Amino acid sequence: MKYTDLKDKSLKELQELLKEKKVLIFKLKAKLKTMQLTNPNEIKEAKRDIARINTAITALQNNNK
């Protein structure tokens, strides 16, 4: 996921996407603890996606002020 994909979305869509990614991280961490996660880099990618979404939300809120 790239920032350019996110900057065209609305605030509500971004918040829903953020919630989905946080749930995904929770599930990935649970899989990591039970040794079921085959690619640990998925956690890092999900964290980066969350950071990108938070950046898009902040930019959107600053533009509306």
Within-domain flag for 1: no
For residue 49, being part of any structural domain is answered with: yes
CA 38, CA 63: separation in Å to the nearest integer? 41
pLDDT at 65: 76
The reply to whether 41 falls in a domain is: yes
Tell me, yes or no, whether 26 lies in a domain: yes
* Residues 18-44: b if buried by 16+ CB within 10 A, e if exposed: beebeebbeebeeeeeeeebeeeeebe
**Confidence (pLDDT) at 63:** 87
DSSP string, 1-27: --HHHHTTS-HHHHHHHHHHHHHHHHH
**CATH number of the domain to which 16 belongs:** 1.10.287
Chain segment 22-42, per-residue pLDDT in tens: 999 999 999 999 999 999 999
Count of structural domains within the chain: 1
Give domain status of residue 35, yes or no: yes
Domain containing 23: what range? 9-64
pTM higher than 0.85 for the full model? yes
